[in-house]
Amino acid sequence: MSIQIGDISSINNIISSSNKSKNESGQLFEDIYKAAIGLIDDTNQLQKESEQVTTDFATGKTDNFVDVLVASEKASVALQYTVTLRDKLLDAYNEIMRMQV
C-alpha cells in the first residue's frame, strides 16, 4: 500500500469545504480525523514494507539495492508528511484554544 496524491489531497478538500453549520462542523472534524487516521495507517504500512525489504536485502533474499532505497525513501517522506500534518493540526488546535470567546 502506498500513499497516493488523492489521499493527501482528500484532506485538503475536506478542510477547504469548512464553511459549514455547527452540526456539519462535527462531520467535518470526523472526516478530517478519518483521513488523518488513513494517512497514519498508510505511513505505518510503508514503514513495515521498508523494514521487510531491508530485512530481505540483509538476509540475501534479494540483491536489488534500489528497491531498498526506494522503499526507505517512500517511508521517510510519508513519515515527514505525517509529522508535519500533526504539527499543523496541533498548531491550529492551540490557536483555537487561545481565542477569547
**pLDDT band for position 11 (50/70/90)?**
low
Q: Let me know: does 51 contact 97? Beta carbons within 8 Å.
A: no
Global pTM value: 0.67
**pLDDT band for position 19 (50/70/90)?**
low
Tell me: the pLDDT tens digits for 30-73?
787 788 888 889 999 999 999 999 999 999 999 999 999 999 99
